[in-house]
Amino acid sequence: METLGVKEICGNIAAHNGALNAYLQVVPEERLKPGAGPLAGVCLGVKDNIAVAGLQLTCGSKLLERYVAPYTATVVERLLAAGATVTGKLNLDEFAMGSATTYSAYGDTKNPWDEDRTPGGSSGGSAAAVAAKMCDVALGSDTGGSVRQPAAYCGIYGYKPTYGALSRYGLTAFASSLDQIGIFARRPGHIRELMRIAAGRDDHDATSIEAPSFATRGFSPSEMKIGVIAEYEKKMGPAVRPAYDRCIETLKKAGATIVPLSFPEYDTVISVYQVVATAEASANLARFDGIRYTARAEGCSFRETTAASRGRWFGPEVKRRILLGTWVLSRAYYDSYYLRAAKVRTVILDRWKEFFGKVDLVLTPATAGTAFKRAEQPDTFALYLEDLFTIPANLTGMPAIAFPAGTHDRLPVGLQLTADLSRDALLIDAAGWLEKNFMDFATIERGCRHDTI
């Protein structure tokens, strides 16, 4: 795989990280020893909620400020074994809860295209680092769109595999049934190379699956049926619409059949997601009690110590979601919220399975618009709506990729392709075809201010 090289990457980190705040921890250049293997020389940035032994694991939280991971995530371990080098730990919204990387306890990350703007979230550090060439590729985590939305805002590729294709062992859990480690790259081919190495069953993750094939079979649009969703077309903003239309036009011209689909449940996805994700998060984050590996606020009893530690160091968004999750799981509300959400989730899954009975891929926007200004961050609930296009892939477990689709007003626009379960290779093939036939890669690169070309 083509790489920038340690020297260039370290130079870029030194030049831009101060302004962008993408890395929370940078591994010094002298410690970046390239390994041997198919990924030799690949510089890998890792979101700071994924464990790498000996490096910090703050999860963007004050609560884990001094915590050092005692073990390495399976995905990272496999990439290291293939020769990759970890360059450092990347900024994120606290415990991956957010859509703008503004909920990090360690400061905002800035969008390399415009520092006044958000890189998206929660994997904003990963997206910014890849876009600004501060690493070759980066790992993020995607629970409701946390890889795809920032990829779209930063003009790069953001891929969420089929649920289970990448082991979650070592990824600090936010919502276990939705979480997937995802990959940020400037070229779709890089994603394929990483997946070939990192995907597959892991004895440490009971939900991991046998790796789907990542062999390329080429992509011939004339054999493809591409679904488009009427409800989503109404929801995208004027910044995205032209790119979306152009993309459909390109595919059509190449012989693809465009199939209109209807997703009448589209407006339930945010609610279902909020219930499921917060419920699981309320349990997953219970372990941060100030007793074992976290900052401890002294109290007289366990209860006091726990309450004081969590009260002092969890940020407001994390507290909000824990409270909501605790509430929807409580005995009085379980049936009307959690159980109901779980049922609607299966309806949504059935709907998307039905789609893939008719089409090979579904094309949607990745986001409704381009990156917003950090100073103009929408309110809490408007921010939740950011995930409208990306959440279905998490609820269904299906693979999806956000890909660059040009710019609007000097800001990148991202679109999204979704495929059926385990058809990850098709997704990457399609992104590869679009890279050549739809997206002018060089244009995107020149748009990024921190581009060193």
Partner 1 sequence: MTRYEAVIGLEIHVQIKTDTKAFCRCNGDYNAPPNRHICPVCTGAPGALPVLSDEFVRRAVLFCLALGARVNLVSTFDRKNYFYPDMPKNYQITQFFTPIGSEGRLLVTGADGVERAIGIERIHMEEDTARSAHMGERTLLNFNRAGLPLIEVVSHPDLRSGEEAAQYFKKIYDIAVKYLGICRGNMEEGNLRCDANISIRPVGSTALNTKTEVKNVNSFAFIAKAIDHEIERQIALVEAGGAVESETRLWNPKLKRTETMRKKSGRNDYRYFNEPDLGPLRITAEFVEELRKTLPELPDAKRRRLKAYGINNEQTDLFVGYPEVGDYFINATASNTLQPSEYPIVSSLVTGEILKYEDKEHFETVPQRIPPQHTASLAHLIHTGRVTWPQAKELFAMMRETGSDPEEIVKNDPRFTAIGDDETAAIAAAVVADHPAETEKYLGGRENLLGFFVGQAMKRAKGKADPAKMSEMVKKELTNRKK
The closest of 192, 90, 200 to 147, measured between CA atoms, is: 90
Alpha carbons 124 and 91: distance in angstroms, whole number = 7
Determine whether 330 is an active site residue: no
- In the region spanning residues 184 to 213, those forming contacts with partner 1, defined by CB under 8 A, are 203-207
Residues 93/383, Cβ–Cβ less than 8 Å: no
Instruction: Choose the stretch contacting partner 1; rule: CB under 8 A; options: 186-194, 245-253, 284-292, 387-395.
Output: 284-292
Note whether 57 binds partner 1 by CB under 8 A. Answer: yes
Q: Which of 122, 126, 141, 208 is catalytic?
A: 122
Note whether 391 binds partner 1 by CB under 8 A. Answer: no
Determine whether 104 is an active site residue: no
Q: Where are the beta strands (DSSP E) in 115-272?
A: 137-142, 157-160, 180-185, 225-229, 257-261
Give the distance, in angstroms, between the CA of residue 302 and the centroid of all CA atoms in the same chain: 36
What are phi and psi for residue 288, nearest 5 degrees? -85, 80
Least distance (Å) between residue 172 CB and partner 1: 4
**What is the DSSP code (8-state) at residue 326?**
H
Tokens of 349: 């899954």
Contacting residue, 116, 220, 242, 302, with partner 1 by CB under 8 A: 302
**How many amino acids of this chain bind partner 1 (CB under 8 A)?**
44
Note whether 96 binds partner 1 by CB under 8 A. Answer: no
What 3-state DSSP class applies to 172? coil
Note whether 111 binds partner 1 by CB under 8 A. Answer: no
The closest of 197, 240, 251 to 80, measured between CA atoms, is: 197
Q: Where are the beta strands (DSSP E) in 327-410?
A: 361-365, 400-408
The closest of 193, 201, 196, 161 to 180, measured between CA atoms, is: 161
Q: Which is nearer to partner 1, 51 or 417 (CB)?
A: 51
Note whether 314 binds partner 1 by CB under 8 A. Answer: no
Least distance (Å) between residue 334 CB and partner 1: 8
Note whether 393 binds partner 1 by CB under 8 A. Answer: no
Residues 182/165, Cβ–Cβ less than 8 Å: no
Alpha carbons 297 and 335: distance in angstroms, whole number = 36
Note whether 50 binds partner 1 by CB under 8 A. Answer: yes
Contacting residue, 4, 13, 39, 51, with partner 1 by CB under 8 A: 51
Note whether 274 binds partner 1 by CB under 8 A. Answer: no
Least distance (Å) between residue 48 CB and partner 1: 11
Least distance (Å) between residue 180 CB and partner 1: 13
Q: Which of 47, 89, 110, 133 is catalytic?
A: 47
Alpha carbons 404 and 243: distance in angstroms, whole number = 10
Least distance (Å) between residue 2 CB and partner 1: 31
Determine whether 141 is an active site residue: no
Note whether 250 binds partner 1 by CB under 8 A. Answer: no
Alpha carbons 63 and 150: distance in angstroms, whole number = 25
Quickly count: other Cβ atoms within 10 Å of residue 234's Cβ. Answer: 8
Residues 196/183, Cβ–Cβ less than 8 Å: no
Note whether 78 binds partner 1 by CB under 8 A. Answer: no
Instruction: Choose the stretch contacting partner 1; rule: CB under 8 A; options: 12-20, 171-179, 247-255, 364-372.
Output: 171-179
The closest of 294, 272, 217 to 388, measured between CA atoms, is: 272
Least distance (Å) between residue 160 CB and partner 1: 17
Least distance (Å) between residue 19 CB and partner 1: 29
Note whether 173 binds partner 1 by CB under 8 A. Answer: yes
Note whether 293 binds partner 1 by CB under 8 A. Answer: yes
Note whether 287 binds partner 1 by CB under 8 A. Answer: yes
**What is the DSSP code (8-state) at residue 338?**
I
Note whether 323 binds partner 1 by CB under 8 A. Answer: no
What 3-state DSSP class applies to 325? helix
Q: Which is nearer to partner 1, 19 or 206 (CB)?
A: 206
The closest of 29, 33, 47, 35 to 137, measured between CA atoms, is: 47
Active site residues: 47, 122, 146
> Using CB under 8 A as the criterion, which residues of the chain lie in contact with partner 1 when the complex forms?
49-51, 57, 59, 64, 67, 69-71, 73, 168-173, 175-177, 203-207, 279-280, 282-283, 286-287, 289, 291-293, 302-303, 306, 326, 329-331, 334, 338
